[in-house]
């Protein structure tokens, strides 16, 4: 089987789709695009699609990932175009590579988030961020199906910075492969937070960090924050940057294409 890895987005009103909603839309897109999908065995076969670390409902994203298995080889870029045309605007397939390495999910160890706080001044945001970063621990509570859970959100936060405008200058993410195209519902001046958080257990989400800012600095935005994931991938502990998880597949493809002509030249006539 050929395996293809895709990066897709959740933009605009499509940020409110659940992961299950996206799964249904994506499977319909596979049928519309006539993709030769591999199916599981058993009484109820389903397409072999592996989803990795989906963003919570209500948050936008520029960096969602999945992997599909095909029974026939296809050109990744042509497949990307077909699937993108078969999905609604906002669920956009923006990149496709052939899987030539293992462990995509293992390379998603951290995320870069942008939190847009309408109605919050830059001064208040900086004060709250400084208090959060200075805290040794920040206990927050989350309502789960088993009741209220209390945990420390501080260790998972690699960096948290505030700025009055989202210009991308303070984003601790590799700009070679990711751009700061956040999903912004308005042009109203407001405070922008940039957050890099490790994927740990229990998972620390952007709303947990907002709860922590409320706890340590009494920061409470008058309207819900607009949250967008800008990137996710492998965390470089030395620099605090998040690298592109599809880069190893691209590098492997380049190495293979370079090695093929050399091997052909050495072959006996």
SS (H, E, C) 45-74: CCECEEEECCCCCCCEEEEEEEEEEECCCC
Q: Which class is domain 2-104?
A: alpha beta
From CA 6, how far away is CA 55, in angstroms rounded? 15
pLDDT at residue 190 greater than cutoff 90: no
Residue 175 burial by Cβ neighbours in a 10 Å radius (0-12, 13-18, 19+) = exposed
Do 200 and 155 touch, CB atoms closer than 8 A?
A: yes
Query: Strand pairing of 60-70 and 49-52?
Result: antiparallel
Question: What is the overall mean pLDDT for the chain?
Answer: 88
Do 242 and 110 touch, CB atoms closer than 8 A?
A: yes
What is the reported pLDDT for 3? 97
pLDDT per position as a tens digit, 120-142: 999 999 999 999 999 999 999 98
Name every residue whose Cβ is closer than 8 Å to that of residue 84 and which is 6 or more positions away in sequence.
Answer: 92, 93, 94
From CA 9, how far away is CA 69, in angstroms rounded? 20
pLDDT per position as a tens digit, 1-59: 899 999 999 999 999 999 999 999 999 999 999 999 999 988 889 999 999 899 999 99
pLDDT at residue 187 greater than cutoff 60: no
C-alpha pair distances (Å), 237 with each of 90, 135, 156, 247 = 32, 20, 12, 18
Give just the sign of the alpha carbon dihedral 206, 102, 50, 35.
positive
Higher pLDDT, 149 or 176: 149
Residue 39: DSSP 8-state: B
C-alpha pair distances (Å), 114 with each of 160, 162, 166, 173 = 10, 10, 9, 12
Domain extent listing, the chain: 2-104, 108-243
User: 218: left (phi > 0), else alpha (psi -120 to 50), else beta?
Assistant: left
């Amino acid at each position: 089987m050929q395996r293809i890895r895709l990066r897709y987005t959740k933009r605009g009103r499509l940020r409110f789709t659940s992961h299950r909603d996206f799964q249904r839309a994506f499977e319909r897109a596979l049928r519309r695009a006539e993709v030769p999908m591999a199916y599981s065995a058993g009484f109820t076969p389903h397409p072999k699609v592996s989803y990795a670390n989906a963003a919570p409902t209500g948050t936008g994203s520029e960096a969602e990932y999945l992997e599909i298995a095909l029974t026939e080889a296809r050109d990744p870029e042509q497949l990307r175009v077909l699937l993108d045309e078969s999905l609604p605007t906002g669920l956009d397939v923006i990149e496709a590579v052939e899987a030539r390495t293992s462990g995509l999910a293992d390379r998603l160890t951290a995320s870069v988030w942008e939190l847009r706080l309408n109605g919050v001044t830059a001064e208040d945001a900086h004060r709250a961020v400084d208090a959060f970063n200075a805290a040794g621990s920040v206990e927050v509570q989350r309502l789960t199906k088993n009741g209220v859970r209390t945990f420390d959100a501080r260790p998972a936060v690699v960096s948290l910075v505030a700025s009055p405008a989202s210009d991308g200058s303070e984003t601790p993410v590799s700009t070679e492969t990711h751009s700061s195209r956040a999903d912004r519902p308005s042009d109203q001046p407001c405070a922008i937070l940039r957050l890099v958080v490790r994927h740990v257990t229990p998972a620390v989400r952007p709303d947990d960090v907002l709860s922590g800012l409320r706890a340590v600095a009494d920061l409470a935005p008058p309207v819900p924050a607009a949250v967008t994931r800008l990137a996710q991938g492998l965390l470089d502990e030395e620099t605090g940057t998040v690298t592109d998880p599809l880069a190893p597949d691209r590098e492997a493809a380049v190495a293979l294409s370079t090695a093929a002509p050399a091997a052909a030249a050495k072959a006996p006539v």
